[in-house]
Amino acid sequence: MSKERIKIAEELYDIMPPEYQDLVKKATYGNETRGWKDIGTAKELIEEHSLCAGCPESMAFRYILASLPNPEDTVMVGSTGCTSLVFPHVAVHNIHSLFGNQNAIASGLKRALSVRFPDRTKDVVVLAGDGATVDIGLDMTLQAWFRQEKFTTICFDNELYANTGGQESGLMQKGFVAKMAPVGKSFEKVRLPEIARESGCHYIVQCTVSKPNLIEKVIKNAIYVAREIGPTYLQIYTPCILEIGKNSMEGLQEMRDSEKPSERFAYKEFVSEPAKELLAELAAKEKERKAEAKRQLASQTVTV
């Protein structure tokens, strides 16, 4: 649904619950400069969530939704897992796919949208857990990258199957003992960022959600590159505090500890040459936009 269509029928406006009126009046649809700083002052596109208190995945979800450059023309594709408990509550079009099927669904969707709306930018973003991305759906994930499908894949990596009680996943670290994996993982964490690079992804980042500024930047970069060039991949550490024995308030610290330079979630980025050129071009435009805004502000100040 485009922004112009997100309006309430005048005759029935008064009976709409306030959260829907806010969605029209205070949400940041159609605002290219939207970002995580709007949280708290604008209407968020996530009404509520049913995740555990202090869940880092809920933080990630809020930052991602706040950072989508074009939410009114974005379709998110989710898969089974904790994320699928949140999707029913977001004000962005979304599809719940079969477990592991998300990148295949997104491929067809992106192609169909390009045919149906040739003159409009439509973004497709896959958001799935590590089980769906790396284990059950690895085939679909890789094949979409091989085919150079133009959408972003985001993996919420919590290093196990949290939603079903803590089974071992391919992204679990070696030696980790989980509730349903009592012997401990016997092989190394799958290096999907490296695999993504070799499979043709143009922009790849591995990080945590401890720094909202950084998350906003990588989300936007990934979407812009996917729009113009080809597949992009983000692997974001969203630890399951329940499954790793942490309390609600310890999620943030867990992410900070895991992103130290020697740790497994140290910031890692790969940008292809065409993507570098595009991002440089966009950065120059952004710089120009900010300079222009500054000039305008200065001229207004002088006038006053």
Q: How many CB atoms lie within 10 A of CB 88?
A: 12
- Is 47 a binding residue for other proteins by CB under 8 A? The answer is yes
Tally the C-alpha atoms within 13 A of residue 108's C-alpha that lie toward its C-beta: 7
Instruction: Map 224-289 to HEC letters.
Output: HHHHHCCCEEEEEECCCCCCCCCCHHHHHHHHHHHCCCCCCCCCEEEECHHHHHHHHHHHHHHHHH
Check: CB of residue 168 under 8 Å from CB of residue 131: no
User: Hey, is 185 helix, strand or coil?
Assistant: coil
Q: Which two tokens stand for residue 285?
A: 């435009």
Pick between residue 6 and residue 195 the one whose CB is nearest to other proteins.
6
Binding segment toward other proteins, per CB under 8 A, in 13-21, 99-107, 167-175, 252-260: 13-21
Tell me which of 10, 40, 261, 302 binds other proteins, using CB under 8 A.
Answer: 10
Tell me which of 32, 37, 48, 286 binds other proteins, using CB under 8 A.
Answer: 48
- Is 1 a binding residue for other proteins by CB under 8 A? The answer is yes
Pick between residue 49 and residue 122 the one whose CB is nearest to other proteins.
49
Tell me which of 89, 260, 276, 295 binds other proteins, using CB under 8 A.
Answer: 89
User: Hey, is 124 helix, strand or coil?
Assistant: strand
- Is 6 a binding residue for other proteins by CB under 8 A? The answer is yes
Separation of alpha carbons 48 and 171, rounded Å: 28
Tell me which of 88, 165, 175, 184 binds other proteins, using CB under 8 A.
Answer: 88
Tell me which of 7, 183, 262, 300 binds other proteins, using CB under 8 A.
Answer: 7
Q: How far is the CB of 32 from other proteins (least distance, A)?
A: 23
Tell me which of 3, 20, 39, 200 binds other proteins, using CB under 8 A.
Answer: 20
Binding mask 203-222 for other proteins (x = CB under 8 A): --------------------
Check: CB of residue 99 under 8 Å from CB of residue 88: no
Q: Give the binding site for other proteins (CB under 8 A).
A: 1, 5-12, 15-17, 20, 47-48, 88-89
